[in-house]
Amino acid sequence: MRRSWAIQLVRRTGCRYAALCGSILLAVSAYGANPFLDAPDDKPVSANFRGTEWGEEIQEEEIPLTARVVTTRVAKMPWGAIFKIEFANIKLRVKKRRKIPLDYFIVTDDRIVLLNEEDNDAAVKKISALDKPPEFEPGDVYGITTGKFNHEDGPWTTTIEVKGDECTYLASHNSGHFKKVVWKKGVGLVEYASGYGAHADGYRLKRTTTTQNR
């Protein structure tokens, strides 16, 4: 059965999946920390983000949107770590509050990979007990440390590219749906955006603070 664009976008923007096919195996080595997503300990780190949102229920073309993004290391392994990134204190000018689901990422020294199981908390416990990284779909890779990575899945095209001190993930659908995530060396997440085609609904948030507040 052919999946609708909505189901496909949901998969790209953080909903659950079960199958792990066409996978890649990350190389196992001593974890030397990932320059784009790392933390010295398990204490939550917060940063302010500011941007805009749009949608069919919004009269203006775009309206201001702000949020506090909290990044927490929830597991540490010899080969990597697992981080939780959640959006709190979302402030906007419309009655219907926008909900941005939290994300879990498995991080090795050269990859940032989306963790998206039915029960992420249980998955964190299981994966953190492994002596090597599990296998992942290429479409779940959200960050690399050098070069460029391309992946196509039906109408979806994903490009991940490192330029200077930033790594940009961009997944786009041929009808206009997209998701963009930007990581910065020594900082972490600096941009997070998602939208449905024809400007029907979406948002874009960029980091405004220059230091990590604990």
DSSP annotation string for 116-179: --SSHHHHHHHHHT-SS--EE-GGGEEEESSSEEEEEETTEEEEEEEETTEEEEEEEETTS-EE
Q: What is the pLDDT of residue 60?
A: 75
Q: What is the pLDDT of residue 24?
A: 35
- 168: amino acid identity, one letter: T
Closest Cα to residue 212, out of 54, 57, 44?
44
Question: With bands split at pLDDT 50, 70 and 90, how would you rate the model's confidence at 62?
Answer: confident
Q: What is the pLDDT of residue 31?
A: 63
Does position 9 have pLDDT exceeding 80, yes or no? no
Only one residue has tokens 């080969």, namely 79
Separation CA 72–CA 26 (nearest Å): 23
> Which residue ranges make up each domain of the chain?
5-207
Q: What is the pLDDT of residue 58?
A: 73
Separation CA 10–CA 188 (nearest Å): 24
pLDDT top residue among 69 and 6:
69
pTM value is: 0.82
Separation CA 91–CA 198 (nearest Å): 24
Coil vs helix vs strand at 197: helix
